Structure 1
Amino acid sequence: MTNIPYVLRQDRPDGLTTLTLNRASQFNALSKEMLAALQTELDAIGRDPKVRVVVMAGDGKAFCAGHDLKEMRANHDKAFMQALFKACTKVMMTVTKLPQPVIARVHGIATAAGCQLVSMCDLAVAADVAKFAVSGINVGLFCATPGVGLSRNLGRKQAMEMLLTGEFISAAEAKERGLVNRVVPLEQLDAEVDKLAASIIAKTPVAVAAGKQMFYRQLEMGLESAYQLAGEVMACNAMAEDVAEGIDAFIAKRPAVWKGC
């Protein structure tokens, strides 16, 4: 029997790496093994300076249908559940802590923890046929952990409506509510993801990595502390060699040549 990888990694020379959830027959449900595989890949990417942007994708009809309910039912044990949700939380936090921006490529349904994954990615591009829900409530399980990411993307009442009803919203509604950045026809999805990724890859990785880290840290701070942090980050960033190159290139009206330092 052939061992099929739970997550596929594809690296491009331009610095774009795609991670594809590879359980199409189970709608890419986040089983214990899937989460472990995803964690391994994310950890490796975080140490790889050649990777500039990460795309999170799903194989088959769905982006991700959330946790594997059959696995959960077969392991009706609190310790198992605690370990499962801890592993999922670690994956979600790793996405946020990566120095590289992560773009969710959503071509189909994203439900429960799958919707959570979209919310925790830095950016998201969706096909117009994609749908989103936090549907645990429909089986008696409030989507508490997905609610953490969801409430940091949507307004409170919009997030609570999704959490309490379990109803799907369209890609257009997801964009309007702040869950995704762009919505395009399915046949244009890859081109739009590439366009967004290329815009980021064209920037210096020094500013991108520092900016991403600062953005999430300041969100949890009060206003004055956030400004103190932001000012210090900008001062440090301004000392980078790439900033001198960027300013010189701007003045000379030529393309900048980034050194990554």
Structure 2
Amino acid sequence: MLQAQDATPPIAQDRQGGILTLTLQREASRNALSEEMMAALQAALEGAASDPEVRVVVLRASGAVFCAGHDLKEMTAARAQADGGRAYYTDVMGRCSRLMQTIVTLPKPVIAEVGGMATAAGLQLVASCDLAIASDTARFCTPGVNIGLFCSTPMVALSRNVSRKQAMEMLLTGEIIDASTAREFGLVNRVVPEAYLGQVVAKYAETIAAKSPLTLKTGKEAFYRQIEMPLAEAYDYCAQVMVDNMMARDAEEGIGAFLEKRSPEWTGE
């Protein structure tokens, strides 16, 4: 029995200034996205969305594995149900999809700090974040094809980060790629020595947290909406976003501060 581990929350939360760090801490299960883990992450992200003090969210993990994807023991146990697990799998996949979309629609930037292996839905978690910084020891793969289960939902996030050929290479072979290849593919922004991973992520988070929260919210939402639009529609939409943004107090303050050569004072309005 793992009573001591079960008594520990699946994620640890730590807020320093405007930066909220969420740490997956289920090393024994390779930080798998169990029902408990997904519920905890969902609640933490929803809390961050409504907390005006939070400017940036950092998602990291303890141990050698960032996240091993879905909990296959839970998934296998569900086969004993009368319907063979269909209702359970439908529910779990729905929860996971909701979690990934929550990251994308969160009005605060989310940075993945990847210090270990990220596989299947764990890779999906990384790909769903706005930025991803990896250590030089990090590894990535979508290995579902090796066990007869194509990584279809991870494919959604993966194919929106890397080219089609690279996505299909990962999905069809199930092979592990190293951090430098992940950077070449566009899955992560930077690869840094393991010893400096936390420092580099902190620098990114601090830089972003110093910006206007309204501007960050506006820009993140606009980015994900326009990326799926035809070119002309995207320009029409983003032109209106710029107009609305220009009318905001923070834009007036930021431009004024720039012209007056002083630091801006953001109000989030």
Superposition TM-score tier, normalisation by shorter sequence: over 0.9
Which of 157, 163, 168 does residue 165 from structure 2 map onto? 157
Tell me which of 36, 40, 47 is aligned to 2:39: 36
Q: Which residue in 2 is equivalent to 1:134?
A: 142
Q: CA deviation at 1:224?
A: 1.1
The answer for the alignment partner of 1:189 in structure 2 is 197
- 1:1-261 aligned within 5 A: 1-2=3-4, 3-13=7-17, 15-76=18-79, 77-261=85-269
Large movers: runs of 4+ above 2 Å: none
Structure 2: gaps spanning 5 or more residues: 80-84
Cα deviations across residues 140-190 of structure 1 (Å, max 9, x unaligned)?
Answer: 100000000000000001000100110011111111110000110000001
Percent identity over paired residues: 52
| Whole-angstrom distance in 2 between the partners of 1:29 and 1:68 | 5
Letter in 2 for 1:154: V
| 1:8 Cα deviation after fit | 1.3
TM-score normalised according to structure 1 size: 0.98
CA distance in 2, matches of 1:213, 1:179: 20
| Inter-partner Cα distance in structure 2 for 1:174 and 1:107 | 13
Deviation at 1:194, TM superposition (A): 0.8
Q: Deviations over 1:110-148 (max 9, x none)?
A: 000000000000000000000000111111100000000
Q: Which amino acid aligns with 1:256?
A: P
Partner Cα separation in structure 2 for residue 74 and residue 187 of structure 1 = 39
Aligned amino acid, residue 167 of structure 1:
E
- Aligned residue pairs total 260
Question: How far is the alpha carbon of 1:42 from its aligned partner?
Answer: 0.9
Q: Structure 2 length normalisation: TM-score?
A: 0.95
Q: Which amino acid aligns with 1:171?
A: A
Which SS does the other structure have where 2:8 is aligned?
coil
Q: What's the CA shift for 1:33?
A: 1.3
Letter in 2 for 1:6: P
Q: Secondary structure at the match of 1:10?
A: strand
Unaligned ranges ≥5, structure 1 = none
